[in-house]
Protein backbone atom coordinates (compact mmCIF):
# COMPACT_ATOMS: atom_id res chain seq x y z
CA UNK A 1 0.00 0.00 0.00
CA UNK A 2 2.77 2.41 1.05
CA UNK A 3 4.82 1.48 -2.03
CA UNK A 4 1.87 1.93 -4.32
CA UNK A 5 1.10 5.43 -3.02
CA UNK A 6 4.78 6.33 -3.30
CA UNK A 7 4.86 5.11 -6.90
CA UNK A 8 1.66 6.88 -7.80
CA UNK A 9 3.01 10.19 -6.51
CA UNK A 10 6.45 9.64 -7.96
CA UNK A 11 4.98 8.84 -11.39
CA UNK A 12 2.92 12.02 -11.31
CA UNK A 13 5.96 14.12 -10.41
CA UNK A 14 8.10 12.50 -13.11
CA UNK A 15 5.44 13.31 -15.68
CA UNK A 16 5.24 16.93 -14.47
CA UNK A 17 9.01 17.30 -14.49
CA UNK A 18 9.15 16.07 -18.10
CA UNK A 19 6.44 18.53 -19.09
CA UNK A 20 8.35 21.36 -17.37
CA UNK A 21 11.54 20.26 -19.07
CA UNK A 22 10.05 20.43 -22.54
CA UNK A 23 8.58 23.85 -21.76
CA UNK A 24 11.55 25.53 -20.13
CA UNK A 25 14.78 24.00 -21.33
CA UNK A 26 15.17 26.12 -24.42
CA UNK A 27 14.98 29.25 -22.31
CA UNK A 28 17.15 28.18 -19.41
CA UNK A 29 19.83 26.20 -21.22
CA UNK A 30 23.09 28.08 -21.52
CA UNK A 31 24.24 26.21 -24.60
CA UNK A 32 21.47 25.40 -27.07
CA UNK A 33 22.86 23.42 -29.95
CA UNK A 34 20.93 23.64 -33.20
CA UNK A 35 22.97 21.30 -35.34
CA UNK A 36 23.72 18.09 -33.59
CA UNK A 37 21.41 15.33 -34.70
CA UNK A 38 23.03 12.32 -36.27
CA UNK A 39 21.56 12.63 -39.78
CA UNK A 40 23.11 16.08 -40.17
CA UNK A 41 19.80 17.95 -40.47
CA UNK A 42 19.31 21.06 -38.46
CA UNK A 43 16.90 20.53 -35.61
CA UNK A 44 16.15 23.27 -33.15
CA UNK A 45 14.45 20.74 -30.90
CA UNK A 46 17.69 19.45 -29.49
CA UNK A 47 18.64 20.96 -26.14
CA UNK A 48 21.80 20.72 -24.13
CA UNK A 49 22.17 20.54 -20.35
CA UNK A 50 24.72 19.08 -18.01
CA UNK A 51 23.55 15.64 -16.96
CA UNK A 52 23.47 16.58 -13.27
CA UNK A 53 21.27 19.60 -14.06
CA UNK A 54 18.96 17.47 -16.15
CA UNK A 55 18.73 14.89 -13.39
CA UNK A 56 18.14 17.59 -10.76
CA UNK A 57 15.24 18.97 -12.77
CA UNK A 58 13.66 15.57 -13.22
CA UNK A 59 14.42 12.69 -10.89
CA UNK A 60 15.71 14.73 -7.94
CA UNK A 61 12.69 17.04 -8.08
CA UNK A 62 10.37 14.03 -8.29
CA UNK A 63 12.02 12.30 -5.31
CA UNK A 64 11.82 15.54 -3.34
CA UNK A 65 8.11 16.12 -4.01
CA UNK A 66 7.32 12.44 -3.39
CA UNK A 67 8.74 12.76 0.11
CA UNK A 68 7.86 16.30 1.07
CA UNK A 69 4.87 17.13 -1.15
CA UNK A 70 4.30 20.60 -2.59
CA UNK A 71 3.22 23.76 -0.85
CA UNK A 72 -0.27 25.04 -1.39
CA UNK A 73 -1.48 28.63 -1.23
CA UNK A 74 -4.51 29.57 0.91
CA UNK A 75 -6.92 28.81 -1.96
CA UNK A 76 -5.58 25.25 -2.10
CA UNK A 77 -3.72 25.79 -5.39
CA UNK A 78 -0.29 24.12 -5.63
CA UNK A 79 2.50 26.68 -5.79
CA UNK A 80 4.73 25.82 -8.69
CA UNK A 81 7.80 27.91 -7.99
CA UNK A 82 8.58 26.63 -4.52
CA UNK A 83 11.62 24.52 -5.24
CA UNK A 84 14.78 25.28 -7.20
CA UNK A 85 16.32 21.93 -8.19
CA UNK A 86 19.78 23.24 -9.00
CA UNK A 87 20.22 25.22 -5.78
CA UNK A 88 18.91 22.28 -3.79
CA UNK A 89 21.12 19.80 -5.60
CA UNK A 90 24.31 21.91 -5.32
CA UNK A 91 23.84 22.32 -1.58
CA UNK A 92 22.67 18.79 -0.97
CA UNK A 93 25.66 17.38 -2.80
CA UNK A 94 28.00 19.28 -0.44
CA UNK A 95 26.02 18.14 2.60
CA UNK A 96 26.12 14.56 1.30
CA UNK A 97 29.93 14.73 0.89
CA UNK A 98 30.40 15.51 4.59
CA UNK A 99 27.49 13.44 5.84
CA UNK A 100 29.55 10.50 7.12
CA UNK A 101 31.79 12.79 9.22
CA UNK A 102 28.78 14.51 10.73
CA UNK A 103 27.03 11.18 11.28
CA UNK A 104 29.91 9.84 13.37
CA UNK A 105 29.70 12.99 15.50
CA UNK A 106 32.47 15.31 14.28
CA UNK A 107 31.55 18.96 14.91
CA UNK A 108 29.99 20.88 12.04
CA UNK A 109 32.40 23.79 12.51
CA UNK A 110 35.22 21.61 11.15
CA UNK A 111 33.46 21.65 7.78
CA UNK A 112 32.63 25.25 6.82
CA UNK A 113 31.35 24.26 3.36
CA UNK A 114 28.93 21.77 4.90
CA UNK A 115 27.81 24.40 7.41
CA UNK A 116 27.13 26.86 4.59
CA UNK A 117 25.16 24.27 2.61
CA UNK A 118 23.16 23.30 5.67
CA UNK A 119 22.19 26.91 6.28
CA UNK A 120 20.41 26.79 2.92
CA UNK A 121 19.00 23.29 3.34
CA UNK A 122 17.62 23.99 6.81
CA UNK A 123 15.43 26.80 5.48
CA UNK A 124 12.43 24.52 5.53
CA UNK A 125 8.75 25.02 6.22
CA UNK A 126 7.85 24.57 9.88
CA UNK A 127 6.88 21.01 10.69
CA UNK A 128 3.21 22.08 11.02
CA UNK A 129 3.35 23.61 7.53
CA UNK A 130 5.12 20.52 6.24
CA UNK A 131 2.15 18.40 7.34
CA UNK A 132 -0.18 20.67 5.31
CA UNK A 133 1.73 20.25 2.04
CA UNK A 134 0.01 18.50 -0.85
CA UNK A 135 1.11 14.88 -1.20
CA UNK A 136 3.55 14.82 1.72
CA UNK A 137 4.55 11.16 2.23
CA UNK A 138 3.28 8.93 5.03
CA UNK A 139 6.89 8.37 6.04
CA UNK A 140 7.43 12.09 6.73
CA UNK A 141 3.97 12.52 8.31
CA UNK A 142 4.41 9.60 10.72
CA UNK A 143 7.90 10.77 11.69
CA UNK A 144 6.88 14.39 12.31
CA UNK A 145 3.90 13.30 14.42
CA UNK A 146 6.23 11.03 16.39
CA UNK A 147 8.67 13.93 16.93
CA UNK A 148 5.82 16.19 18.08
CA UNK A 149 4.67 13.58 20.61
CA UNK A 150 8.20 13.39 22.00
CA UNK A 151 8.67 17.16 22.19
CA UNK A 152 11.53 17.36 19.70
CA UNK A 153 12.65 20.71 18.35
CA UNK A 154 12.01 22.18 14.90
CA UNK A 155 15.77 21.98 14.31
CA UNK A 156 15.75 18.20 15.04
CA UNK A 157 12.86 17.71 12.64
CA UNK A 158 14.57 19.74 9.89
CA UNK A 159 17.76 17.67 10.35
CA UNK A 160 15.71 14.49 10.20
CA UNK A 161 14.26 15.67 6.88
CA UNK A 162 17.78 16.01 5.50
CA UNK A 163 18.56 12.50 6.70
CA UNK A 164 15.45 11.17 4.97
CA UNK A 165 16.50 12.78 1.73
CA UNK A 166 20.05 11.52 2.16
CA UNK A 167 18.90 7.91 1.56
CA UNK A 168 16.91 8.98 -1.51
CA UNK A 169 20.07 10.59 -2.83
CA UNK A 170 21.28 7.05 -3.54
CA UNK A 171 18.28 6.58 -5.82
CA UNK A 172 19.25 9.82 -7.55
CA UNK A 173 22.82 8.60 -8.07
CA UNK A 174 21.76 5.23 -9.49
CA UNK A 175 19.48 7.01 -11.90
CA UNK A 176 22.32 9.32 -12.89
CA UNK A 177 24.46 6.31 -13.82
CA UNK A 178 21.61 4.60 -15.67
CA UNK A 179 21.09 7.67 -17.83
CA UNK A 180 24.81 8.12 -18.37
CA UNK A 181 25.09 4.53 -19.63
CA UNK A 182 22.12 5.14 -21.93
CA UNK A 183 23.60 8.25 -23.50
CA UNK A 184 27.03 6.66 -23.71
CA UNK A 185 25.87 3.56 -25.57
CA UNK A 186 22.94 3.93 -28.01
CA UNK A 187 22.76 0.15 -28.47
CA UNK A 188 21.50 -0.14 -24.88
CA UNK A 189 18.76 2.40 -25.61
CA UNK A 190 17.74 0.45 -28.72
CA UNK A 191 17.41 -2.80 -26.77
CA UNK A 192 15.46 -1.20 -23.93
CA UNK A 193 13.27 0.72 -26.38
CA UNK A 194 12.41 -2.52 -28.16
CA UNK A 195 11.46 -4.24 -24.91
CA UNK A 196 9.37 -1.28 -23.76
CA UNK A 197 7.73 -0.84 -27.14
CA UNK A 198 6.66 -4.50 -27.17
CA UNK A 199 5.21 -4.17 -23.67
CA UNK A 200 3.35 -0.99 -24.65
CA UNK A 201 1.95 -2.53 -27.82
CA UNK A 202 0.65 -5.54 -25.88
CA UNK A 203 -1.24 -3.29 -23.50
CA UNK A 204 -2.25 -0.42 -25.69
CA UNK A 205 -5.95 0.02 -26.36
CA UNK A 206 -6.72 1.45 -29.81
CA UNK A 207 -7.00 5.22 -29.77
CA UNK A 208 -5.81 5.56 -26.17
CA UNK A 209 -2.94 7.97 -25.60
CA UNK A 210 -1.95 6.54 -22.25
CA UNK A 211 -0.80 3.07 -21.24
CA UNK A 212 -0.97 1.88 -17.63
CA UNK A 213 1.68 -0.25 -15.93
CA UNK A 214 1.37 -2.03 -12.59
CA UNK A 215 4.32 -2.83 -10.31
CA UNK A 216 4.22 -6.46 -11.50
CA UNK A 217 4.29 -5.36 -15.14
CA UNK A 218 7.23 -3.04 -14.54
CA UNK A 219 9.01 -6.01 -12.99
CA UNK A 220 8.26 -8.12 -16.06
CA UNK A 221 10.80 -6.27 -18.21
CA UNK A 222 13.87 -8.54 -17.96
CA UNK A 223 16.22 -6.31 -19.92
CA UNK A 224 15.39 -3.24 -17.87
CA UNK A 225 15.91 -5.32 -14.72
CA UNK A 226 19.26 -6.60 -15.96
CA UNK A 227 20.37 -3.11 -17.02
CA UNK A 228 19.60 -1.75 -13.57
CA UNK A 229 21.35 -4.62 -11.80
CA UNK A 230 24.42 -4.13 -13.98
CA UNK A 231 24.41 -0.42 -13.14
CA UNK A 232 24.20 -1.24 -9.42
CA UNK A 233 27.00 -3.78 -9.83
CA UNK A 234 29.33 -1.29 -11.46
CA UNK A 235 28.67 1.78 -9.32
CA UNK A 236 28.16 0.49 -5.77
CA UNK A 237 30.51 1.83 -3.14
CA UNK A 238 28.65 0.43 -0.12
CA UNK A 239 30.50 -0.83 2.94
CA UNK A 240 28.46 -2.95 5.35
CA UNK A 241 29.92 -2.75 8.83
CA UNK A 242 29.03 -5.25 11.55
CA UNK A 243 30.09 -5.71 15.17
CA UNK A 244 31.10 -9.26 16.04
CA UNK A 245 29.09 -10.29 19.11
CA UNK A 246 30.79 -13.65 19.86
CA UNK A 247 34.05 -15.34 18.90
CA UNK A 248 33.40 -17.13 15.62
CA UNK A 249 35.51 -19.50 13.55
CA UNK A 250 34.70 -20.21 9.95
CA UNK A 251 36.22 -22.06 7.04
CA UNK A 252 36.24 -20.90 3.43
CA UNK A 253 35.53 -23.36 0.61
CA UNK A 254 39.27 -23.05 -0.19
CA UNK A 255 40.07 -24.61 3.21
CA UNK A 256 41.37 -21.36 4.75
CA UNK A 257 40.26 -20.93 8.34
CA UNK A 258 39.55 -17.59 10.00
CA UNK A 259 38.55 -16.43 13.47
CA UNK A 260 36.77 -13.19 14.21
CA UNK A 261 36.79 -12.13 17.86
CA UNK A 262 33.98 -10.76 19.92
CA UNK A 263 34.23 -6.97 19.72
CA UNK A 264 35.89 -6.91 16.26
CA UNK A 265 34.26 -4.89 13.53
CA UNK A 266 34.07 -6.40 10.09
CA UNK A 267 33.33 -4.49 6.91
CA UNK A 268 32.10 -6.05 3.71
CA UNK A 269 32.58 -4.10 0.52
CA UNK A 270 29.90 -4.66 -2.13
CA UNK A 271 32.42 -3.98 -4.89
CA UNK A 272 34.57 -6.89 -3.66
CA UNK A 273 31.79 -9.22 -4.76
CA UNK A 274 30.65 -7.16 -7.75
CA UNK A 275 34.11 -7.03 -9.30
CA UNK A 276 35.05 -10.65 -8.64
CA UNK A 277 36.15 -12.13 -12.01
CA UNK A 278 35.34 -15.63 -10.76
CA UNK A 279 31.69 -14.61 -10.51
CA UNK A 280 31.35 -12.01 -13.25
CA UNK A 281 33.17 -12.45 -16.53
CA UNK A 282 35.03 -9.24 -17.53
CA UNK A 283 33.85 -7.46 -14.39
CA UNK A 284 35.10 -4.05 -15.58
CA UNK A 285 32.96 -4.25 -18.72
CA UNK A 286 29.39 -2.94 -18.60
CA UNK A 287 27.13 -5.65 -20.10
CA UNK A 288 23.51 -4.60 -19.91
CA UNK A 289 22.21 -8.12 -20.66
CA UNK A 290 24.44 -9.78 -18.04
CA UNK A 291 21.61 -10.59 -15.63
CA UNK A 292 19.02 -11.88 -18.10
CA UNK A 293 18.23 -15.52 -17.18
CA UNK A 294 21.64 -16.06 -15.62
CA UNK A 295 22.87 -17.77 -12.48
CA UNK A 296 26.26 -16.93 -11.01
CA UNK A 297 28.64 -19.33 -9.29
CA UNK A 298 31.64 -19.19 -6.97
CA UNK A 299 33.54 -22.29 -5.79
CA UNK A 300 30.98 -24.33 -7.74
CA UNK A 301 28.08 -23.03 -5.67
CA UNK A 302 25.34 -20.68 -6.75
CA UNK A 303 25.78 -17.08 -5.55
CA UNK A 304 22.26 -16.44 -4.26
CA UNK A 305 22.68 -12.67 -3.89
CA UNK A 306 25.04 -11.47 -6.61
CA UNK A 307 24.12 -7.80 -6.04
CA UNK A 308 24.97 -6.44 -2.61
CA UNK A 309 24.28 -2.75 -3.22
CA UNK A 310 21.54 -2.63 -0.57
CA UNK A 311 23.35 -4.76 1.98
CA UNK A 312 20.98 -6.87 4.04
CA UNK A 313 19.28 -4.10 6.02
CA UNK A 314 18.13 -1.43 3.54
CA UNK A 315 14.46 -0.66 4.09
CA UNK A 316 14.09 1.28 0.84
CA UNK A 317 15.36 -1.31 -1.63
CA UNK A 318 12.07 -2.15 -3.34
CA UNK A 319 10.82 1.42 -3.64
CA UNK A 320 14.22 2.68 -4.85
CA UNK A 321 14.42 -0.02 -7.55
CA UNK A 322 10.87 0.60 -8.73
CA UNK A 323 11.42 4.36 -8.87
CA UNK A 324 14.58 3.98 -10.95
CA UNK A 325 12.85 1.55 -13.31
CA UNK A 326 9.88 3.84 -13.70
CA UNK A 327 12.08 6.84 -14.39
CA UNK A 328 14.19 5.00 -16.99
CA UNK A 329 11.09 3.61 -18.77
CA UNK A 330 9.60 7.05 -18.97
CA UNK A 331 12.77 8.72 -20.09
CA UNK A 332 13.26 6.22 -22.91
CA UNK A 333 9.61 6.57 -23.85
CA UNK A 334 9.66 10.37 -23.91
CA UNK A 335 13.12 11.53 -25.01
CA UNK A 336 15.91 10.90 -27.46
CA UNK A 337 19.35 11.80 -26.21
CA UNK A 338 23.01 11.66 -27.09
CA UNK A 339 26.40 12.44 -25.66
CA UNK A 340 28.29 15.26 -27.39
CA UNK A 341 31.73 14.24 -28.60
CA UNK A 342 34.42 14.12 -25.94
CA UNK A 343 32.01 14.05 -23.00
CA UNK A 344 32.99 11.30 -20.60
CA UNK A 345 32.85 10.51 -16.93
CA UNK A 346 33.56 7.61 -14.58
CA UNK A 347 32.96 6.56 -10.99
CA UNK A 348 35.00 8.32 -8.34
CA UNK A 349 36.80 5.37 -6.75
CA UNK A 350 38.09 7.55 -3.93
CA UNK A 351 34.56 7.69 -2.59
CA UNK A 352 34.05 4.09 -1.43
CA UNK A 353 31.79 4.23 1.60
CA UNK A 354 29.15 6.14 -0.38
CA UNK A 355 26.39 3.61 -1.15
CA UNK A 356 26.56 4.66 -4.79
CA UNK A 357 29.77 6.21 -6.09
CA UNK A 358 29.57 9.77 -7.43
CA UNK A 359 30.96 10.68 -10.87
CA UNK A 360 34.41 12.34 -11.08
CA UNK A 361 32.90 15.05 -13.27
CA UNK A 362 29.63 16.09 -14.85
CA UNK A 363 29.00 15.76 -18.62
CA UNK A 364 26.81 17.55 -21.10
CA UNK A 365 23.98 15.73 -22.82
CA UNK A 366 21.76 16.60 -25.76
CA UNK A 367 18.13 15.59 -25.68
CA UNK A 368 14.82 16.25 -27.35
CA UNK A 369 11.25 15.12 -26.75
CA UNK A 370 9.93 12.26 -28.86
CA UNK A 371 6.88 13.24 -30.86
CA UNK A 372 3.73 11.17 -30.40
CA UNK A 373 5.03 9.16 -27.46
CA UNK A 374 2.25 7.53 -25.42
CA UNK A 375 1.87 8.69 -21.83
CA UNK A 376 2.84 6.00 -19.33
CA UNK A 377 0.73 5.98 -16.20
CA UNK A 378 1.29 4.03 -13.04
CA UNK A 379 -1.61 1.83 -12.01
CA UNK A 380 -2.04 -0.04 -8.73
C1 LIG B 1 19.47 3.04 -4.72
C2 LIG B 1 19.11 3.44 -3.53
C3 LIG B 1 19.64 2.90 -2.23
C4 LIG B 1 20.79 2.21 -1.96
C5 LIG B 1 21.87 1.77 -2.94
C6 LIG B 1 20.80 1.93 -0.55
C7 LIG B 1 21.79 1.23 0.12
C8 LIG B 1 21.80 0.98 1.47
C9 LIG B 1 22.84 0.26 2.16
C10 LIG B 1 24.09 -0.34 1.52
C11 LIG B 1 22.50 0.19 3.46
C12 LIG B 1 23.28 -0.53 4.58
C13 LIG B 1 22.69 -1.92 4.71
C14 LIG B 1 23.44 -2.87 5.59
O15 LIG B 1 24.29 -2.46 6.38
O16 LIG B 1 23.16 -4.09 5.47
C17 LIG B 1 21.23 0.87 3.61
C18 LIG B 1 20.56 1.02 4.80
C19 LIG B 1 19.36 1.67 4.93
N20 LIG B 1 18.58 2.19 3.91
FE21 LIG B 1 19.06 2.22 1.97
N22 LIG B 1 19.65 2.45 0.01
C23 LIG B 1 18.92 3.05 -0.98
C24 LIG B 1 17.71 3.69 -0.86
C25 LIG B 1 17.02 3.81 0.31
C26 LIG B 1 15.73 4.47 0.46
C27 LIG B 1 14.96 5.15 -0.68
C28 LIG B 1 15.38 4.39 1.76
C29 LIG B 1 14.15 4.95 2.43
C30 LIG B 1 12.99 4.47 2.36
C31 LIG B 1 16.42 3.65 2.45
C32 LIG B 1 16.41 3.35 3.79
C33 LIG B 1 17.45 2.73 4.47
C34 LIG B 1 17.48 2.55 5.92
C35 LIG B 1 16.41 3.01 6.90
C36 LIG B 1 18.69 1.88 6.20
C37 LIG B 1 19.22 1.50 7.58
C38 LIG B 1 18.69 0.16 7.99
C39 LIG B 1 19.25 -0.26 9.33
O40 LIG B 1 20.43 0.04 9.62
O41 LIG B 1 18.51 -0.90 10.06
N42 LIG B 1 17.38 3.32 1.54
N43 LIG B 1 20.81 1.33 2.39
For ligand 1, mutation pick of 68, 316, 328 (most atoms within 8 Å of CB): 316
174 in contact with ligand 1, CB cutoff 6 A: yes
> For the chain, what is the mean pLDDT?
90
Q: What DSSP string describes 86-116? A: HHHHHHHHHHHHHHHHHHTT--GGG-HHHHH
For ligand 1, mutation pick of 9, 166, 310 (most atoms within 8 Å of CB): 310
Burial label for 95, CB within 10 Å (0-12, 13-18, 19+), is buried
Q: What are phi and psi of 227, to 5 degrees?
A: -60, -45
Ligand 1 atom 3: residue of nearest CA: 170
How far, in Å, are 197, 199, 325, 329, 335 from residue 221 at the CA level?
11, 8, 9, 10, 19
Question: What would the pLDDT profile of 156-213 be if each residue is shown by its tens digit?
Answer: 999 999 999 999 999 999 999 999 999 999 999 999 999 999 999 998 887 788 999 9
Question: What would the pLDDT profile of 248-276 be if each residue is shown by its tens digit?
Answer: 999 988 899 999 999 999 999 999 999 99
DSSP state letter for 315: S
Question: What would the pLDDT profile of 300-333 be if each residue is shown by its tens digit?
Answer: 999 999 999 999 989 999 999 999 999 999 999 9
CATH code for the part of the protein at 1-20+43-80+124-378: 1.10.630.10
What number of residues does the chain have? 380
Question: What would the pLDDT profile of 78-127 be if each residue is shown by its tens digit?
Answer: 665 567 888 899 999 999 999 988 988 999 999 999 999 999 999 899 99
Q: How far is the CA of 310 from the centre of ligand 1 (A)?
A: 6
- Residue 84, annotated as binding a ligand: no
H helix runs in the chain, sequence order: 2-28, 51-55, 61-68, 85-103, 112-121, 127-132, 138-149, 154-184, 186-203, 215-219, 222-235, 270-274, 317-334
The whole-model pTM stands at 0.92
Amino acid sequence: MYLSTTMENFAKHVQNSFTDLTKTSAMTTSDCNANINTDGNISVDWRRETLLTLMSKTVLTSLFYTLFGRSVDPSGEEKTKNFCPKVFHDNFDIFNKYFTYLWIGLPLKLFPKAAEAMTVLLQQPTSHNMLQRNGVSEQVKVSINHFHQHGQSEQDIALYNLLVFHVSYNTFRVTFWCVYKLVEDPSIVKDLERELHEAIELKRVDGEESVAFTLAEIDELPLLDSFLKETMRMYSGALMVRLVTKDTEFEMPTGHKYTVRKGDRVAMCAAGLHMDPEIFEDPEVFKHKRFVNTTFYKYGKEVKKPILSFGSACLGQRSALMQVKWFVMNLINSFSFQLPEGQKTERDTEKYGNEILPPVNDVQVDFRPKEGAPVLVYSE
